[in-house]
Amino acid sequence: MTGEPLWRTRRDAGGDPPREPGPIDLTRYVLERPNQNPAQTFLKLPLALTEADLRAGDVDVAICGVPFEMVMSAGGMSYGPQAIRAAEYLPVPPLEKPHLAVGVDPFEVLRIVDYGDAGVTPYDIAATHDSIHEFVAEIVRAGAVPIVLGGDHSITRPVVSALAEAHGAGNVGLLHFDAHADTAPDSYGSPIGQGSPMRRLIEDGFVAGRNLVQVGLRGYWPGADVLAWMAEQGVRIHTMDAIDRHGLQRVLDQAIEEVSDGVEHVYVSLDIDVLDPSVAPGTGGLEPGGLTTRELLPAVRRVAAEAGICGMDVVEVSPLLDNRSRITAIAAHRAVLEALTGMAMHRLGTTTGDPAYEHGLGSPAPGRREGHHEP
């Protein structure tokens, strides 16, 4: 067999009814449950199927999925994208998400769609990475920012490489929230596996070592040889011990400055196991002693608001390992919303938001906005 693999070949749409390019609203009713429509999108956002749809919709942010895993730890990450998409509990539309802490609604500021999933095969990690790279490149060519729902952490390599090719190799800083460094020479013999994406991005020249900044590392890996390699590359790490000693806000002050050093673009890679297992059990790399959800969510918003981001991934969510309340998927979902809020704040030129929303004890709520719907 020759030509493009069938698992990533776009079907012949010649028999479909003709339509003008643009995002497609899949909702049927004025008010629906988040998982009511069988074509599940993030928050029931309009779906874009092609690069032409993104361009016609003048899209700012494209949320997409990569349901891929070839993992060393417990599995289920290939189900992560849909679990994150379906984690909302409030009915939608109307799509209205004013952030109570900062008073910014990202859906009023940004044009956001769901771009569906990249083509993947569990049998060929290299070919899947090629497909992811091309898929993300479509989003970037259309002028949109990709927010990628994984999938295992190997997917960061093709996503960031596509962004680096668009923005310039070495011109993208990578802020990496994780319990693990992911800088191994290989993953059980594979140079592009789950434990190696950050090392490959540096060795391939897409990210400068000094612009890989890691927050939340803890536990008993990596060893001396890998740490020595990281030091040689200038990788900056902020362990949980450093967060405990100095406080998260001071660590973020330094991390944002470091990741932005000499580059024009910042990417955030969020492995959900940066959270403590007590608040995020649905992942394979459980490591006690992590961040709380209350710490992580404003941190993501702050990075997006202050540094601005050219992309983000949220990886390693396994609904098969989550508890019945789906707290891991919900945390990942909210991390995406916080990133969108931060991006909207950056667009508006504010890092603090609307002062009217900065409530103190017993302060009155801001006035009800026209068009607001109670859940």
pLDDT at 360 over 80: no
Residue 347: how many CB atoms within 10 A of its CB?
A: 15
Mean pLDDT of the chain: 91
pLDDT at 333 over 60: yes
pLDDT of residue 375: 32
Distance between CA atoms of 87 and 334, rounded to whole angstroms?
9
Over the stretch 283-298, which tens digit does the pLDDT of each residue have? 999 999 999 999 999 9
Rg (C-alpha) for the chain, rounded Å, is 20
- For residues 117 and 111, the answer to whether their CB atoms sit within 8 Å is no
Is CATH 3.40.800.10 the right assignment for the domain spanning 38-352? Answer: yes
Q: Give the confidence band of 9 by pLDDT, cuts at 50, 70, 90.
A: confident
Q: Supply 182's token pair.
A: 């992911």
pLDDT of residue 5: 79
CA separation, residue 36 to residues 28, 39, 63, 246 (Å): 10, 9, 19, 45
Q: Kindly list the domain boundaries of the chain, sorted by start residue.
A: 38-352
pLDDT, average across residues 251-264: 98
Higher pLDDT, 121 or 173: 173
Over the stretch 144-184, which tens digit does the pLDDT of each residue have? 999 999 999 999 999 999 999 999 999 999 999 999 999 99
pLDDT of residue 372: 38
- For residues 267 and 311, the answer to whether their CB atoms sit within 8 Å is yes
pLDDT at 374 over 60: no
- For residues 172 and 279, the answer to whether their CB atoms sit within 8 Å is no
